[in-house]
A and B are shown apart, each in its own frame.
Chain A
Amino acid sequence: DADVTQTPRNRITKTGKRIMLECSQTKGHDRMYWYRQDPGLGLRLIYYSFDVKDINKGEISDGYSVSRQAQAKFSLSLESAIPNQTALYFCATSDYRGIDTQYFGPGTRLTVL
């Protein structure tokens, strides 16, 4: 969905490096999410934010941190990347109106060597 963009789309880094993945949306949604996707494990929620001042841990937040810089921007950081953080990362947004339909970005493929 072009309304949700992620940068970079691909990244290869080394163990111990700090990495930031960025997400921007033009949908005007209050809610934003970060997921990782691994083969055979589906999508797992890392962090979510219901508004600029709200940050919540998801299922697998250890080793990650986030920053909600503005309504439209939500970044995910790996302070010290490790190989098992190699995965496909997705950002999503939603505008809760009874049902929380989420709109996903194109994904960032991260490889930690």
Chain B
Amino acid sequence: GESVGLHLPTLSVQEGDNSIINCAYSNSASDYFIWYKQESGKGPQFIIDIRSNMDKRQGQRVTVLLNKTVKHLSLQIAATQPGDSAVYFCAEISNSGGSNYKLTFGKGTLLTVNP
């Protein structure tokens, strides 16, 4: 079946270091991918997205890379800060419309930033 998964369930980094969170997917028909951040006690918050026809997209301190050959997605956070500590989810969406809409979230990676 189709699945979205994460290679590492936890990641611990030092403040100021760069963080890389990985995600594997298996649905080659996915139209785009989204990364979400969820802080304790809150709902997921959008970070960045990328269409399936792109390889890379940059935001403020974050970069998402998409490797369709190996069906791999990563989120890079530059100069990680304590406020970045959270669970990060990837999601893949196949948006062919109506009842054919399909969204799958990964199980999440817990990022801990040590001061």
Give the interface of A toward B (CB within 8 A).
Answer: 1, 4, 40-45, 48, 50, 54, 56-59, 90, 92, 96, 98-107
Contact = CB atoms under 8 A, between A and B. Distances in A.
B60 to A, nearest CB: 16
17 contacts: A42-B107, A42-B108, A43-B91, A45-B103, A50-B98, A54-B98, A56-B98, A56-B101, A57-B99, A99-B49, A101-B49, A102-B34, A102-B44, A103-B46, A104-B44, A105-B43, A107-B43
Contacts of B95: 96, 100
Nearest to A41: B107
Interface string B79-108: 000000000010101010011010111111
Nearest to B97: A50
Interface string B29-54: 00010100000001111100101000
A5 B111 CA distance: 27
A59 B108 CA distance: 18
A56 B103 CA distance: 12
A104 B42 CA distance: 9
Contacts, number: 55
A43 B105 contact: yes
A20 B99 CA distance: 24
B35 to A, nearest CB: 11
B43 A40 contact: no
Given A42-B89, A99-B51, A104 B105 contact: no
Contacts of B105: 42-44
A74 B45 CA distance: 20
